[in-house]
Amino acid sequence: MKRYQYLIISISFILLLCSFAWADEELCYPPYWGGLLPGESFEKEALRLYGQGLFRDEMDRHVRFYYNKAGTHTLVIFFGTDLFVTDIFIHQGIKFPENKKISDIRKYTSEWFDPFEGFGKWHRLKIGASRTEALRWLGNPHNTISNNEWEYRSKCACELPRGITIYFKSDKIISVRFWASQG
């Protein structure tokens, strides 16, 4: 079997195990989004799914920026040791790195980046959802960093913590971070 087949089987197994891990009626939800699972997926899989994007090397980490076709949202993927995906950010609005021309945004657009792909229980949450919907589909946050930043830790993490952080503005989700701690 090829490495990506092992990865698909591993992710499927994790999702199966998580479906049995109910606690306080909360679904064990790994921080999976858009075909990528932080801590398990590699840069080559991100490239296969979304294309080249805009590559940056920031603070000794590889970073790729992608934009949706409508030019309304930004996908930022961080890669750590051995080019594992460590963070996936989805932002409402355009986040463009310094020293790049905003007019070049079309070069970095991915037709496969859908910022309205759901996440959370039954993939019901989306960018623009309310706090009430976040509570309904993810439950109470494990950590309220601020009134506008909620952190959820995945019960599916085997060794290192993983989770989802939601950022709000005017009681609406404006950004989401899917993350895994680096080992």
Average pLDDT over residues 109-115: 94
| Digit-coded pLDDT (tens) for 70-84 | 999 999 999 998 899
DSSP state at residue 73: E
Q: What's residue 98's pLDDT?
A: 75
Three-class SS state of 132? helix
> pLDDT averaged over the chain?
84
DSSP codes joined into one string, 147-182: TTEEEEE-TT-SSS-EEEEEEEETTEEEEEEEEE--
Q: What's residue 79's pLDDT?
A: 95
* pLDDT band for position 7 (cuts 50, 70, 90): low
Higher pLDDT, 178 or 60: 178
Three-class SS state of 72? coil
- Rounded Cα–Cα distance for residues 152 and 77 (Å): 19
Q: What's residue 22's pLDDT?
A: 40
Query: Whole-prediction pTM value?
Result: 0.82
Task: Please report the sign of the dihedral spanned by the C-alpha atoms of residue 49, residue 54, residue 55, residue 61.
Answer: negative
| Digit-coded pLDDT (tens) for 20-44 | 444 443 446 778 889 999 988 999 9
Residues 38 and 88 sit within 8 Å (Cβ to Cβ):
yes
- Rounded Cα–Cα distance for residues 180 and 183 (Å): 9
Q: What's residue 42's pLDDT?
A: 95
- Rounded Cα–Cα distance for residues 20 and 26 (Å): 11
Q: What's residue 134's pLDDT?
A: 94
Three-class SS state of 8? helix
Task: Please report the sign of the dihedral spanned by the C-alpha atoms of residue 125, residue 166, residue 92, residue 60.
Answer: negative
Instruction: Show me where the domains of the chain are located.
Output: 3-180
Residues 115 and 125 sit within 8 Å (Cβ to Cβ):
no
Q: What's residue 104's pLDDT?
A: 82
